[in-house]
Copies of this chain bind each other. A is one copy, B any other.
Amino acid sequence: MSEYKQRVGRLQHKLQTGGFDGMVVTQNVDLYYLAGSMQTGYLIVPASGDPKFFVRRSVARAEEESAWPVEPLGSLREFAGQLGAAFPDLAATTGRSPVKLAAEFDVLPVQLFQRLQQSLAHVEWKDGSALIRETRMIKSPFEIEAIRSAARVINDAFEDAFGWLKPGMTELEAMSRMEYFVRERGHIGIMRLRGYNQEVITGMLGAGDAAATPTYFDGPAGGLGLSAASPQSSSRRPFETNEPILMDVGCCIGGYVIDQTRTVVFGSLPDDLAYAYDASERILRSAEGLLRPGTVCEQLYAESLRLADDAGLADHYMGYGRDQVKFLGHGIGLEVDELPVLARGFNYPLEAGMVIAVEPKFTFPGRGVVGIENSYAITADGFEKLTISREGLIRL
């Protein structure tokens, strides 16, 4: 309960600073973060005072799960009345300017938003996505422990895979088996993403030219995928010797994700790819040197770009050609695409409690992707590496 009080308190501080009267939270992950329950409904967070969870279904389940009082949600027509009764300050009163409410414009569908607009007249709606994403950006010790648990599971999955990966096996066979391993141990089945149209099951496991195939996915390594209906990650291509196999695989345990990458080869890599792999480790070490409170996020990206350029690999860094992505890493937590982003324009200084995946990679069209990715928690005086898997190029 103190966890939820603190989370809501931090959001309320931002609501007050932004001049909001409150926030209507609708997204499953945000609901879980603020109330401990992702039943279908609206969590009303007033700028001050306790929230209330108006639930469509399951009310019974929400009552068990929710940190805040639950009230069954009537029709949207009645919602204004329900809301007004629970939060007199949020009800429109004569002689007062419109109530200013935040909502998650980054995920809220237009249709539902329009229904809320119709149902709650006299509300001035504003985008509250940044408020909730910035609140979630700083993890509590409880959350970091949850990510450590996920890190242990994925490390076991990698070590298990190192034991059975074989040339001739297809990307899909390998990915399926790793997914089975983590699923049996509590992986919820997907790694949740906030971005529209983005999907991640457990990540991307791909080899050679297939791994280097660009995709719509907002990450450095796409993958051929199974077909145009699932155009990313593993395909039915078999592994060969002396080519890089990129294992960018995570899992979601108890709601929290871990994200990590290792590069594997049967035999040995061609010299230029081995050189690029070493460059990715150098960039990671350089980033570690800057992982402490105060470092500005975009500085981490700029420094990594400089190192990639020094290595003569700028064209291959984080994708190739017009399919390059422009970041070095991203926050993780309940979702894989959290704040902060290590990219130009992100001026957040690192703070204790941030958890970020740092993933320098190099793409060689027709030949493969090499790189490494660790997840880190920022601490008061530096960082804790949450990823516990062995580093270096893995030769099998």
Contacts and interface: CB of A to CB of B under 8 A. Distances in A.
A112 B114 CA distance: 15
B38 A216 contact: yes
Contacts of A103: 110
Interface string A18-53: 000000001110001000111110000000000000
A108 interface: yes
B196 A72 contact: no
A58 to B, nearest CB: 4
Stoichiometry, as copies per complex, reads 2
B231 A254 contact: no
A323 B197 CA distance: 30
Contact of A108 (B61, B109, B179, B218): B109
A183 B190 contact: no
Interface string A223-251: 00011111100000000000000000000
A227 B36 CA distance: 10
B228 A32 contact: yes
A227 B189 CA distance: 13
A209 interface: no
A218 B56 CA distance: 11
Interface string A102-124: 01011111111110000000000
Interface stretch (A7-15, A169-177, A388-396): A169-177
Interface residues of A, number: 66
Interface string A185-211: 010111000001101011000000000
A322 B57 contact: yes
A179 B173 contact: no
Given A172-B183, A175-B183, A190-B199, 14 more contacts: A39-B231, A57-B323, A59-B322, A61-B216, A106-B109, A108-B110, A110-B113, A110-B127, A176-B183, A179-B179, A179-B180, A189-B190, A189-B202, A229-B334
Given A183-B179, A184-B172, A188-B229, A214 B60 contact: yes
A65 interface: yes
A38 B190 contact: no
Contact of A323 (B58, B179, B229): B58
